[in-house]
Amino acid sequence: MSEAILNTREGHIQHLVLNAPQSRNQLTFAMCRELVAALQDADRDADVTAILISATGPIFCTGMDPRELCRPEALELGWIHEELFTVGSKITTPIVCQVQGAATGAGIGLLCNAHVVIASQGTTFGLTEVRHANWPFMIFRSLALVMGERRALELALTGRMFGTNEALQYNLIHAVSSPIELEDRVEATLRLLAGLSPELVRRGLDFVHQTRGKGSAEAGLLAQQIRTAWFAHSDFLEGQAAAAEGRKPQWPSLQTAEPKAAQPE
C-alpha cells in the first residue's frame, strides 16, 4: 500500500484515506488498484464491521488523473475501474464516506458505491467529464441506481456543479454536517454500525444484492428463505434475549469471527 492510500485499522473499523492532497486526491490507476484490493481484503475480514473512506486536505476527490487517461495502458485497466465503481453492489461490509470540499467525476463514483455518505457543509459535486470531452462511462450505472437515470443523464450532459442541498435531494449523500462537527458525525455513525450484529449486516446487504432486479415473487421467496435461516442464528437469539433482559448484546459472530465467504466475481 502506497502513501497515496493510507490503510489502517482502528478497532473494527478499516480506514482508507485518499492521501494525495497536492493533486486534489485525483485517482491514479495505482490508487484505484490499491483501493479495490483494500476494500476486498476488508470485506473478507470478519473482524471488520465497517469501512471508512475519507481524504486528507480540503478536497475529497476530483476524479481521475487526466494525465493517465491518454496513456495506452488506460484501455487495459478498465477492469479495475469496473471493480472499484461497482464494489458497493458486491461486498457485504458497510462503506461510509466522509466528504469535504468537492467530489467530482470518479469521486462521485466512490460516493455512489458507499452505503452511508456524510458531507461537510459547502461541499460541491459535479459530473464534469463532459467539459473535457469525456463521459462518466464507468460510474454511470451506479449513479443511475442512486438517483435515477434521468437525473444522472442531466448531470452527465450539463457537467454542472451542485451543492449539498441538491445532493441530498438526489440521494447522493445522506447527511450534511458543519465542518467542525463532520468527524464527530462520522464517528457516531461508525459506532452505531460497530454495535450491530456483523452477521446480520452481512446477510442484509447480501439480500439487497441478490434481490436487485428480481421480480416481486422471486424476491419475496428469497426473503422468506433468508429470514427463516436467520431466525435460527445465534446472533438473532442473542439479540432477542438482550432486548428482553434490557442489556447490551454480545454478538457470537463477532466473538468467534471467521473469514467471510468470498463473494462471486
Half-sphere exposure (Cβ direction) of 239: Cα atoms closer than 13 Å:
15
Residue 76 has pLDDT above 80, yes or no: no
- Indicate whether 230 and 188 sit together in one domain: no
CATH number at residue 14: 3.90.226.10
Residue 209 has pLDDT above 90, yes or no: yes
Domain boundary among 150, 176, 194: 194
Residue 262 lies in a domain: no
- Over residues 103-128, the mean pLDDT reads 98
Residue 38 lies in a domain: yes
Residue 265 lies in a domain: no
Looking at the whole model, is its pTM more than 0.75?
yes
Nearest CA to 111 out of 170, 190, 31 is that of: 170
- Indicate whether 13 and 92 sit together in one domain: yes
Residue 259 has pLDDT above 60, yes or no: no
DSSP state of 243: H
Residue 239 lies in a domain: yes
Nearest CA to 119 out of 131, 136, 107 is that of: 107
- Indicate whether 47 and 174 sit together in one domain: yes
What's the pLDDT band for 254 if we cut at 50, 70, 90?
confident
**Number of C-beta neighbours around residue 212 at 10 A:** 10
Is the Cβ–Cβ distance between 20 and 58 less than 8 Å? no
* Number of residues assigned to the chain: 265
| Residue type present at position 140 | F
Give the pLDDT confidence of 130-154 residue by residue, as tens digits.
999 999 999 999 999 999 999 999 9
Q: CA-based angle 126:131:132, to the nearest 5?
A: 115
Give the pLDDT confidence of 218-245 residue by residue, as tens digits.
999 999 999 999 999 999 999 999 999 9
The domain of 42 spans: 5-194
- Indicate whether 55 and 115 sit together in one domain: yes
Q: What is the pLDDT of residue 258?
A: 56
Q: What is the pLDDT of residue 74?
A: 65
264 vs 207, higher pLDDT:
207
How many structural domains comprise the chain? 2
Residues with Cβ within 8 Å of residue 204, at least 6 apart in sequence: none
80 vs 16, higher pLDDT:
16
- Indicate whether 98 and 170 sit together in one domain: yes
Nearest CA to 23 out of 119, 118, 104, 116 is that of: 104
- Over residues 15-28, the mean pLDDT reads 97
Domain boundary among 169, 194, 219: 194
- Indicate whether 77 and 148 sit together in one domain: yes
| Residue type present at position 12 | H
Q: What is the pLDDT of residue 255?
A: 73
- The radius of gyration computed from the CA coordinates of the chain, to the nearest angstrom, equals 19
**DSSP secondary structure string, 68-109?**
HHTSGGGGGGHHHHHHHTTGGGT--S-EEEEE-SEEETHHHH
- Indicate whether 208 and 140 sit together in one domain: no
